[in-house]
């Protein structure tokens, strides 16, 4: 199927059926020629990234949006507008290919309408965009509820966060220090034409000048390196497991942090990786197998540890809690449309239950590292602040001078040092 038609179908699956882009895009890419797969990804990611702006532009040109069985053609118009605004595809080709896709989607009677809308936009683009961009959430491509939350939480930085969410993400590599030094890996990369620099935020971090296929990374298939954002790589160093200790990685999928813990400290007594998603848990084992590492991988509910670990406690626990993922929107723009405002309260309650349950599985003197890929205070500092008040045997370990019980943890913002948005708080059990 032609690329534009396939893009419209993918967007419909995300917006109307609530499916994630990562779940539906791979199958869709099988329906287009190999040379067009990168374009399909660009059209899907870009249209979802800028959805409010594209929707608003359509509203300027159409009195009534296409609905019901014709809704797919609304999404096709959005794909057409995305090409005209954000890509270097010649305008005549973008319009022609988008209009040709109408027939593939069995809507030939709408060819004239869609052609007219796209050509109207070509003539009036500057005026239309100037008018719709007066509204902040439209200009910055975010839903109203999330814009409101970000403005409330980050009075000076909300626009920076939203702008960062719309950038194409860089590619970070984690060097396996058990195999070679970071400097040696950088040399290996240079030898195969991959330009990269050492990341400033971690001793294993490598930042690529531009993304590449993992098959081109030297030694990737045997575990010499892995793909992992620089912010996510902070977890292993912050938890800092020691030889002879038992470590729990709760909510472990897809297993990047599990592997990093083992790479950093190969003399651990044992690592348990647990996750409630059986499908994603397979990726944990696949990652461990690729690198040649061993951990006890368990399908289980982190909020009910007695069901899968009835006896014994852990020296250290990494809780990478289920969250809104609002710190990784640049990698997953569909998050903006799959999340709802009410989800935040429900997620915060789930996080609270898991944190309380796992605290009982931590030894006295042990360390728990709480982590999310969220930027929302309800899931992060407010969660930990409430836990410290309610839990008398919990003590905060400051990660920086401003890390206090009243404002606990370390919040990385999207785009900060080229990394994803991430939150960490380190607790010790008295």
Residues with active-site annotation: 373
Judge whether 429 is annotated as a binding position: no
State how far the Cα of 304 lies from the Cα of 93, in Å rounded to an integer: 56
Judge whether 257 is annotated as a binding position: yes
CA-CA-CA-CA torsion sign (189, 193, 194, 200): positive
Q: How crowded is the C-beta side of 347, counted as CA atoms within 13 Å?
A: 22
Q: What are phi and psi of 201, to 5 degrees?
A: -90, -5
Judge whether 320 is annotated as a binding position: yes
**Antiparallel, parallel or unpaired: β 172-175 and 205-208:** antiparallel
Separation of CA 67 from chain center: 30
State how far the Cα of 342 lies from the Cα of 143, in Å rounded to an integer: 13
State how far the Cα of 384 lies from the Cα of 368, in Å rounded to an integer: 12
Judge whether 36 is annotated as a binding position: no
**Antiparallel, parallel or unpaired: β 246-250 and 225-227:** unpaired
Judge whether 252 is annotated as a binding position: yes
Closest C-alpha among 215, 218, 207, 206 to residue 179: 218
Residue 424 bridge partners (DSSP): 371, 410
Judge whether 253 is annotated as a binding position: yes
Binding-site residue numbers are: 251-257, 275, 301, 320
Q: Which residues are annotated as a binding site for S-adenosyl-L-methionine?
A: 251-257, 275, 301, 320
């Amino acid at each position: 199927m032609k690329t534009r038609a396939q893009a419209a179908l993918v967007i419909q699956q995300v917006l109307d059926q609530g499916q994630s882009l990562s779940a539906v895009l791979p199958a869709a890419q099988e329906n287009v020629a190999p040379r067009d797969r990168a374009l399909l990804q660009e059209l899907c990611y870009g249209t979802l990234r800028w959805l409010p702006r594209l929707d608003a532009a359509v509203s300027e040109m159409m009195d009534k949006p296409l609905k019901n069985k014709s809704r797919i053609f609304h999404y096709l118009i959005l794909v057409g507008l995305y090409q005209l605004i954000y890509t270097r595809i010649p305008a005549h080709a973008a319009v022609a290919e988008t209009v040709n896709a109408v027939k593939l989607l069995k809507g030939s009677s709408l060819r004239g309408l869609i052609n007219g809308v796209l050509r109207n936009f070509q003539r009036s683009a500057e005026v239309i965009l100037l008018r719709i961009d007066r509204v902040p959430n439209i200009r910055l491509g975010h839903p109203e509820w999330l814009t409101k939350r970000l403005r409330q939480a980050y009075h000076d930085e909300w626009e920076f966060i939203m702008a960062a969410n719309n950038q194409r993400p860089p590619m970070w590599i984690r060097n396996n220090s058990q195999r070679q030094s970071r400097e040696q890996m950088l040399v290996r990369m240079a030898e195969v034409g991959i330009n990269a620099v050492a990341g400033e935020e971690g001793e294993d971090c490598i930042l690529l000048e531009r993304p590449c296929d993992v098959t081109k990374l030297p030694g990737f298939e045997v575990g010499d390196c892995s793909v992992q954002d620089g912010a996510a790589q902070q977890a292993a160093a912050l938890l800092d497991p020691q030889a002879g200790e038992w470590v729990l990685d709760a909510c472990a999928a897809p297993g990047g942090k599990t592997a990093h813990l083992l790479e950093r400290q190969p003399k651990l007594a044992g690592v348990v990786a647990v996750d409630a998603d059986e499908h994603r848990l397979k990726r944990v084992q696949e990652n461990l197998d690729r690198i040649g590492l061993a951990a006890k991988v368990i399908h289980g509910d982190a909020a009910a540890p007695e069901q899968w670990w009835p006896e014994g406690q852990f020296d250290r626990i990494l809780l990478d809690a289920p969250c809104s993922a609002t710190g990784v929107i640049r990698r997953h723009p569909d998050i903006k449309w799959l999340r709802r405002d009410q989800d935040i309260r429900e997620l915060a309650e789930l996080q609270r239950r898991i944190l309380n349950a796992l605290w009982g599985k931590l030894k006295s003197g042990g360390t728990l590292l709480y982590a999310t890929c969220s930027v929302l205070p309800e899931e992060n500092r407010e969660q930990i602040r409430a836990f410290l008040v309610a839990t008398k045997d919990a003590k905060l370990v400051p990660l920086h001078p401003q890390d206090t019980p009243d404002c606990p943890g370390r919040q990385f913002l999207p785009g900060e040092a080229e990394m994803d948005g991430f939150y960490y708080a380190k607790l010790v059990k008295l």
